[in-house]
Amino acid sequence: MTMPIISYGEVLIDMLASGSGGKDSTTAESYTRYPGGAPANVAVAAARLGASSFLLGKLSKDAFGKFLLDSLKQYGVDTRFIRYSESGKTALAFVSLDSDGERSFCFYDDNAAHKDFSIGDLPVEAFQIPSIFNFSSGTLAVPGPREANLRAIALTRDSNGVVSMDINYRAAFWESQESAASCTREVAGGVDIIKTSGEELQLLFGEHGVDEICSEWLDSGVALVIVTNGGDPVVYRTRSISAQTAIPSTPVVDTTAAGDAFVGGLLYQLSMLCENRQDFRALCADQSKLAHIVSFATRCGAVTVSRFGAFTSLPESDDLL
């Protein structure tokens, strides 16, 4: 039996600039809408690879909300746990790309539907069997979604599932860098997997080294810590393993969903290899299996950066051959 993957958090519209030149560019004359949002991207990435993939979150009843729901279904995501906000609007992220495909964001998310999620919206039935519960740390920035997130973590642990946190730090989601760092540290001890980037660690915990932060998380009970570094090798650590995997060489046109593709590929592999938390913990002592899983995830990211958009760029299994 495979483990279902439940991704929790925002689903929004990425408005991708037609020109290049970065956030200060004046060359972009139009924007194209793409469905996006980190948790939604992970849900689609896992679904396209063949996992049983669910999105847990809240949509607006506006036209963008309908577009997002249709897009999730089109890409194979199970939407039965989607809730709807009576007053919230669909958040927009205006994305500009520089000449290397690196992106910058400008978020319009006041009164966003995904911020309207509360503990009463949690479908308890979703957590009755072992699953992989994945969330981005941005869901911890707002009281309602944070309370629901913490409850979902507890329900996952009670059902012998696996909890995965993708830090995915976006300063615009938080009151301050200090509050983001403090909240992330507080929650980290209750999860099994942490995926982050070297850049995020520097922004959040600049006074501490990467090794120090990773060791702190592992000592607190985290089983697997993964740190990506753009085109440099991915570092992964457990209590008994410290290793790295090179990134495949690929032409880069858009890095928007690269990290989400990596997480989706990682969780897909874990869902195929594990039936519960004990299986996952045992796997974290197996260097050969971990190397295969991380390599697979890097290939998912490599395919994604060679394409534009978020959902549209995520690979299927045939793309990885």
Burial class from Cβ neighbours inside 10 Å (0-12, 13-18, 19+) for residue 239 reads: middle
CA distance 296 to 314: 13
319 is catalytic: no
Amino acid at 107: F
Query: Alpha helices of 207-284 — where are they, by DSSP H?
Result: 210-220, 258-273, 277-283
Token output for 180: 């983001």
Main-chain phi, psi angles of 112, to 5 degrees? -75, 145
CA distance 7 to 106: 23
* Upper half-sphere CA count for residue 28 (Cβ side, 13 Å): 20
* Count of C-beta atoms within a 10 Å radius of residue 132: 29
- Report the SS3 class of residue 152: helix
The answer to whether residues 103 and 260 touch, using CB atoms and an 8 Å cutoff, is no
Instruction: Pick the catalytic residue from 158, 260, 286, 319.
Output: 260
Main-chain phi, psi angles of 222, to 5 degrees? -65, 135
Residues with catalytic function? 260
